[in-house]
Amino acid sequence: MIKLNLSADDVLTTTRAVRKRLDFDTPVEREVIEECLQIALQAPTGSNSQGWQWIMVEDAATKKALADIYAHNFSIYAGSARSNTYQPGDLRYEQKDKITESATYLTENFHRVPVIMVPCIMGDLDRAPTFQAASAWGSLLPAVWSFMLAARERGLGTAWTTIHLIGDGERQAKELLGIPDGVTQAGMFPIAYTIGTDFKQAKRLPLDPILHWDRW
């Protein structure tokens, strides 16, 4: 098993959304995924609910069906105004073409990844009150991020995507995966070993416009 022996700060600052550097040809062992998940389950969970559920898809036909749902929704999203809201001079505007190219590459190759992960949380969060929704997401998202960090330490790449949930895609994926009623999907994650492990910190906006002390 690969262990990169990264420091806590390194793993936190170099865990990227990996798309173009996913290794489609190297299998990912179940025991590696299970070890990452055992680490993820140590994450905080509201009221000790532990209401998370994890679907790991290895079957080629199922991966292809999920990838088709994703690709259909990506074509809709990519053509919407929502996907291009930044203006020249904004750091995110300068990065958008590279991000779009990377996202398109993943869309075209999603079915090739060794494993697709769909994490879920118990509860129907569609139009749920803010408290209920925040509590539920707060009981899942830390665990998902912990999984991604553990995967990075083991030479695996991941990317948090939600585009398959647009429109009817959520229902289609639910039926495909046999997800029961009253369970909410959080995303769809490619899991693969990475081509190289030398990921660097991303360029981010400065603290000034986003940090508030005592009041907004």
Q: Please report, for the chain, the start and end positions of each structural domain, with discontinuous segments joined by +.
A: 8-193
- Phi, psi (rounded to 5 degrees) for 57: -105, 120
Nearest Cα to 168, choosing from 77, 76, 68, 73? 73
**In the prediction, which pLDDT does 82 show?**
60
**In the prediction, which pLDDT does 84 show?**
61
Below-70 pLDDT ranges, the chain? 81-84, 89, 91, 93-95
The CATH superfamily assigned to 8-193 is: NADH Oxidase (3.40.109.10)
Task: Output the DSSP codes for the chain.
Answer: -------HHHHHHS--B-STTB-SSS---HHHHHHHHHHHTTS--GGG---EEEEEE--HHHHHHHHHHHHHHHHHHHTSGGG----TTSHHHHHHHHHHHHHHHHHHHGGGSSEEEEEEEES--TT--HHHHHHHHHTTHHHHHHHHHHHHHTTEEE--B-GGGSTTHHHHHHHHHTPPTTEEE--BEEEEEBS-S---PPP---STTT--SS--
**In the prediction, which pLDDT does 73 show?**
97
**In the prediction, which pLDDT does 1 show?**
78
**In the prediction, which pLDDT does 71 show?**
98
**In the prediction, which pLDDT does 2 show?**
87
**In the prediction, which pLDDT does 12 show?**
98
Q: What's the rounded Cα separation, in Å, for the pair 20 and 174?
A: 27
The tokens for 31 are 């025991």
**In the prediction, which pLDDT does 87 show?**
74
pTM higher than 0.85, yes or no? yes
Secondary structure of 19-67 in HEC code, one letter for each residue: CCCECCCCCCCHHHHHHHHHHHCCCCCHHHCCCEEEEEECCHHHHHHHH
Give the residues across from 121 on adjacent strands: 52, 184
**In the prediction, which pLDDT does 101 show?**
94
